[in-house]
Structure 1
Amino acid sequence: MEDKHAFTQCKTSCLSRVDFSRKGSIDEDIYPVVSLLNNSSNYFTTSSCSGRIIVIDGLSETSEIQKQNCSWLFVTHQKCNEEDVISGLQKARGTAVFKFEPFVLHVQCKDIESARLLLSVAVHAGFRNSGVSIGKRGKIILAVRSTHGLEVPLSHMGEVLVNENYIHFLVQIANQKMTENLHRIKRFHDGVQAALQSNESSCITKVSDSNKKMVCNRAPRRTQDSAMEEKHIPSNQLSDSEDYFEAGLAMFS
């Protein structure tokens, strides 16, 4: 697995980079959960999108690199209205596609236990297409994803294939999906917050219990000689485990 020191270095490097995404900043609706994860010592985010409704014009269907030949006619990370979709569609010159893409988040995890915890939170929040991948050097990446997307072609070679009633219908469906998407993000945020707090409390408890065990383990060794002096117990009488136990407790009697 990835060395913990290497994880910390990778996190520092990743979070200090310039955001080269199209928008150039973290989407408002997922800022709280992204901040929560990045402030944890066990995680950091590598890419994210809160979810979006877009109309894309595929200018060249024969291109091997399709994204480089697409024109974004309309995009929003909130609910949309049909007028904006129609306005964007009028600019199409190729095959225009209407899409709803749900929330997606990629998180690098310190270890497999941290990944397992976050995966459980994601699945319970409704992101059932989430999964973990482990690289050759031990890098652990969790992808938080769901399956309630939508993709519908609206035009071909610049010719619009649907009427405004159908666009109205699509917009209603996409907006419903966006509402559900935001609900899932909220559940995921609350789940992450609860899991991190629980994990932190568990670590504190383990440290506390460990300290108690150290004190208990050290007590007999630390008090044996002084106990013998206080009680004047001859060493030849400390031959069995019961006498040793009583001598160890003499200081506390």
Structure 2
Amino acid sequence: MDHENAFKQWKRQCFSKVDFSKKGNIDDEIYPVVCLINDSSNYFTTSSCSGRIILIDGVLGLQKASGNAVFKFEPFVLHVQCKDIESAKLLHSVAVNSGFRNSGMSIGKRGKIIMAVRSTHCLEVPLSHKGEILVNENYIHFLVQTANQKMAENVTRIKRFYDGLQAVLQADGSSSMATCKDKTTKIVQNQHQRKTQDSVIEDSQIPANKFSDSEDYLETSLILFS
């Protein structure tokens, strides 16, 4: 089987698989990006996450933490299988120019070319050690504000990536961009109508941000200090 037919088969197989992520579907925030890529004959997505703020420990609430609780902000990440090296290079260029400077590609033994779109503005801070809280409430508030700022920048980079991707795919004619036009338009309109505070978490809470990938993190909505 030649590479082009193999790529088409890989794409069909990927779309026929069950989504085993906790959310079970694509985040609305990045649906337009994912749809744009999957509508192209040169790409298809294998996993995605729009970004999330989480507390990892294994129990509900920081004061009940029995282990090593960690506060994390994880930015947008996207894995895309590319038809060929040139397609991967094009996607990499768009990603880097959009602010996702930690992006890169890998080539598997069977010739699969995977492009990872990712950035470095993560945040990971230990909050407790063996059940002992290491920080005070004021510091928690500061962390949440910092994470919110990073999330806002994350959203800006996603929008920049979408615009750049749309431009290059229109130029090379590899995407009809008609398959999911109606739903994409509706989602984008809804995003513009949301108030800024709707996307910002309260200083005393961590929400269950939506994601769609294979990582098995504990993700919960909880009060840090009761």
Bigger radius of gyration among the two: 1
Matches within 5 A, 1:204-219: none
Give the RMSD, CA atoms, in angstroms: 1.6
Q: What is aligned with 2:72?
A: 99
Matches within 5 A, 1:41-52: 41-52=41-52
Contact 2:59–2:66 (8 Å) recurs in 1: no
Q: What is aligned with 1:151?
A: 124
SS at match of 1:95: coil
Measured in 2, the distance between the counterparts of 1:152 and 1:31 equals: 29
Aligned length: 174
Q: Does residue 113 of structure 1 match 2:86?
A: yes
Matches within 5 A, 1:1-253: 3-57=3-57, 71=58, 88-200=61-173
Structure 1 residue ranges (4+ consecutive) displaced by more than 3 angstroms after TM superposition: none
Q: Any stretches of 5+ residues in structure 2 without a counterpart?
A: 175-226
Measured in 2, the distance between the counterparts of 1:51 and 1:138 equals: 29
The structure whose RCO (Cα within 8 Å, separation 6+) is larger is: 2
SS at match of 2:24: coil
Measured in 2, the distance between the counterparts of 1:72 and 1:151 equals: 18
Measured in 2, the distance between the counterparts of 1:199 and 1:132 equals: 21
| Range with greater deviation from structure 2 (161-170 or 22-31) | 22-31
Distance 1:168 1:45, change over 3 A: same
Distance 1:114 1:72, change over 3 A: farther
Contact 2:55–2:69 (8 Å) recurs in 1: yes
AA paired with 2:90?
Answer: L
Contact 1:38–1:45 (8 Å) recurs in 2: yes
Compute the displacement of 1:24 (Å): 1.5
Compute the displacement of 1:72 (Å): 7.3
Contact 2:59–2:65 (8 Å) recurs in 1: no
Percent identity (aligned): 76
Measured in 1, the distance between the counterparts of 2:59 and 2:44 equals: 29
SS at match of 1:175: helix
Q: Any stretches of 5+ residues in structure 1 without a counterpart?
A: 58-70, 74-87, 202-253
Measured in 2, the distance between the counterparts of 1:102 and 1:156 equals: 25
AA paired with 1:5?
Answer: N
Compute the displacement of 1:28 (Å): 1.3
SS at match of 1:54: strand
AA paired with 1:125?
Answer: S
AA paired with 2:128?
Answer: S
AA paired with 1:39?
Answer: D
Specify which structure has the higher proportion of helix.
1
Compute the displacement of 1:90 (Å): 2.9
